[in-house]
Structure 1
């Protein structure tokens, strides 16, 4: 479970970095920034849901 969480966090930061790159490169005239940020939001929501379900079903113990 830890590997999945770290992988998702890496993907979220990579999407954020690509959005910054496209923002600087395209000067805001293309939709790649919006697509990257939309992907980041989707991954963040998926990670949040995964953490909540993992806690609920006992995969992630509360200590």
Structure 2
């Protein structure tokens, strides 16, 4: 579970980096920035759902207060 979360976070950061690269390189004249940010949002939602399901099914233990 930890490796999957780390992999998704790495993909999110790389997608954000590619969006920044396309924004600077294309000067906002192409759709590549929007596509990269769309991928980032999709990955972020997937990570959120994965964490929620992991907690629900007991793969992520509850921490005591």
For the aligned pair, the TM-score class normalised by the smaller chain equals over 0.9
Aligned residues: 63
> Is 1:55 aligned to 2:49, yes or no?
no
Distance 2:33 2:9 in 1: 19
- State the Cα distance separating 1:8 from its structure 2 match: 0.2
Unpaired segments ≥5 residues, structure 2? none
Distance 2:9 2:26 in 1: 25
TM-score between both structures, scaled by the size of structure 2: 0.96
TM-score between both structures, scaled by the size of structure 1: 0.98
- State the Cα distance separating 1:42 from its structure 2 match: 0.1
Moved beyond 4 Å, runs of 4+? none
- State the Cα distance separating 1:6 from its structure 2 match: 0.3
> Is 1:44 aligned to 2:44, yes or no?
yes
Unpaired segments ≥5 residues, structure 1? none
- State the Cα distance separating 1:50 from its structure 2 match: 0.3
Q: Which residue of 1 aligns with 2:9?
A: 9
Secondary structure of the corresponding residue to residue 30 of structure 1: coil
Distance 2:25 2:59 in 1: 42
